Amino acid sequence: MTTTDRKDMRAGTASEDVARTTGEDEARTAVSRLTSEQVWGEVARASFAVLGYVTPSGEPRSSGVVYKTVGGRLYVAVAPDGWKARHIAMSGRAAVTVPVRRGGFLSLLVPIPPATVSFHGTAIVHPSGSPQVDGLMEELAPLLPTERQNSASIIEIVPEGTFVTYGLGVSLIQMRDPATACARVIVAEEARPS
């Protein structure tokens, strides 16, 4: 087998790519009944996310974090000298994936994966005592033990572009079909919760 044969096997044909794209577009249209407001609602109801960022040398990292939404932004409290605060401050960018529990009581009996909302955005690291987040500290207090509330840095994440969802707005059975379960929803400014 030649290198060209291997590339052809991986890439498929142009007509397959067009068919795949058309099928994905149809699936996204079918799930387009999701609105930015609905997705924001799911993000606001949850409190745990996986935060992705890169190191100064370009290596990917991710961490589980507890967050709070306020005014269409996510806020995460972190140690001021930790990796998240240092690396995110350098790049000003972050990616977030929020798991959304589905299945209710049934999920305790059957392994049902969570739905997800993923997005990227601008990330700003505010040092403790920063005037930009001082007014929010009462709302953000549950993120930290009392003894760390005056020393933590706060990462503010502003979602941009599109939310990429999996499993929202579809039945549990439809979650088995990635083409049906995936959707892209524009992060609409007017839909941001206040």
- The CA-CA-CA angle for residues 89, 120, 154, to 5°, reads 40
- The predicted-structure confidence for 19-44, as pLDDT tens digits, reads as follows 444 445 544 444 457 999 999 999 99
Model confidence at 81: pLDDT above 70? yes
Highest mean pLDDT: which of 5-9, 86-90, 119-123, 125-129? Answer: 119-123
Mean pLDDT, to the nearest integer, of 157-166? 96
Mean pLDDT for all residues in the chain: 81
Residue 194 pLDDT: 65
Helix, strand or coil for residue 1? coil
Return the higher-pLDDT residue of 84 and 13: 84
- The CA-CA-CA angle for residues 144, 145, 147, to 5°, reads 120
Q: What are phi and psi of 52, to 5 degrees?
A: -110, 145
**Can you give the CATH number for the domain in which 100 is found?**
2.30.110.10
Residue 31 pLDDT: 46
Host domain of residue 141: 31-191
Residue 25 pLDDT: 52
Whether 156 is covered by a domain: the verdict is yes
Helix, strand or coil for residue 61? strand
Total structural domains within the chain: 1
Residue 135 pLDDT: 77
Whether 5 is covered by a domain: the verdict is no
Return the higher-pLDDT residue of 59 and 135: 59
pTM to 2 decimal places: 0.78
Return the higher-pLDDT residue of 118 and 109: 118
Q: What percent of the chain has a predicted confidence (pLDDT) above 90?
A: 45
Residue 128 pLDDT: 83
Whether 15 is covered by a domain: the verdict is no
CA separation for the pair 192, 187 (Å, rounded) = 8
